[in-house]
Amino acid sequence: MIVQEDFLRKLRGAFELNEYEVKIWTALLSRGLATAGELSDISNVPRSRSYDVLESLEKKGFVMMKLGKPIRYIAVAPEEIIKRVKKSIKEESDEKLKSLENVKETNLFNDLDLLFKNGIEHIDPSNLSGAIKGRNNIYNQIETMLGNAKKSVTIVTTSDGFVRKVNELNKNLKKLTSNNVKIRIATQANDRVKSLVKNLKGMEVRNSKDVNARFVIVDSKDILFMVNHDKEVHDSYDIGIWVNSPFFANALENMFNLNWNKLEVIK
C-alpha cells in the first residue's frame, strides 16, 4: 500500500500517533480486516513491532481484535474514532484541571505563593515591568490585569482593537461591571463598534476619533501599552510594555481624564 508521507504526517499530528501506529492504522483502514502479519507486509512495519503497535491502537480505540485463529483485527470507522478521541481529550483535560485546582488547596501551593510574595517584596519597583511579544500573550496579560481590578479599568484602543477585546474579554469585563468596577473605553466609532456597544452594559464607551493609542490602565497603578498601531504590525510581532507604577499610571490617566468628558458617547 502506497500512502503519501504528507497524508501520514497530518494524521500523526491530528491523532497523536507515532510513525508505526499511523502506518498500521491506515493499512487496516484500507483492508477493513487483516492479521498482524498482513498489516506488517502492507505497511512496511517490522513484524516484530506490529503486535505491540496493534495492542497500542487497540487501547486507544482505533482497532478491535476479532476472536479466532489466526487473530485478526477490525478497523473502527473514522467517525467513531473522532468521537473516542474527543472524549479521551476531554477526560484528560478535565483530570488535569481538577488536579491543578486541588493543588491550590495544598501546602505546596501555599509555600509556592509565599515564595513568590517574599521575592516580590525584594524587587525594586523599577523592575516591575516587562516586554510582551505576540498578541495572544498581550491578551493573556490584559486578562490577568483585569482579574486583579478592584476599582477602575481604562482602555484606549483602535476600532479593530475594540472588536477584538469585546470578543476576547467580554466575560471578564461583564464580571467586573457586576462587581461595580468602573470601566471606560475610548475608541474610534464605526458601524461595527456601534453594534457591539449596544450589547455592553455598565461600561462607558466614547469616540476618540482624534486619538491613536493603545493602552490599558487598571486601578491607576497597572499599565500595559502597545508600541505600534495594530494595522502596522502582524499579530505575532505585536509588542506590549507592562509597567506596575502608580506614578506613571496616574500621570497617564490624569491626561486621559482631561479629554474624557470632551468625547462623544457611542450609542
pLDDT in tens, 67-98: 778 888 988 888 888 888 888 888 888 888 88
- Measured at the CA of 113, the angle between CA 108 and CA 115, to 5 degrees, comes to 95
Q: What is the mean pLDDT of residues 154-183?
A: 92
Which pLDDT tens digit goes with each residue over 135-148?
A: 999 999 999 899 99
pLDDT averaged over the chain?
Answer: 86
User: Of 119-128, 133-142, 227-236, which range is least confident?
Assistant: 119-128
**Which residues does residue 205 pair with via DSSP β-bridges, in sequence order?**
185
Tell me what pLDDT residue 115 has. Answer: 65
SS3 3: coil
User: Of 184-188, 207-211, 222-226, which range is least confident?
Assistant: 207-211
* Domains of the chain: residue spans and CATH: 5-80 (1.10.10.10), 128-265 (3.30.870.10)
> pTM of the full predicted structure?
0.58
Closest CA to 216 of 160, 141, 163: 141
> Which alpha helices (DSSP H) does the chain contain, by range?
5-15, 19-31, 36-43, 47-60, 78-103, 107-121, 135-147, 159-178, 191-197, 246-260
Block residue for cell numbers 477490525: 74
Residue 130 has pLDDT above 50, yes or no: yes
User: Of 40-54, 99-113, 177-191, 205-219, which range is least confident?
Assistant: 99-113
* pLDDT-derived band at 9, boundaries 50, 70, 90: confident
Which pLDDT tens digit goes with each residue over 25-81?
A: 999 988 888 999 999 998 999 999 999 999 999 888 888 888 778 888 988 888 888
* pLDDT-derived band at 153, boundaries 50, 70, 90: very high
Pairing of strands 215-218, 63-66: unpaired
Tell me what pLDDT residue 78 has. Answer: 87
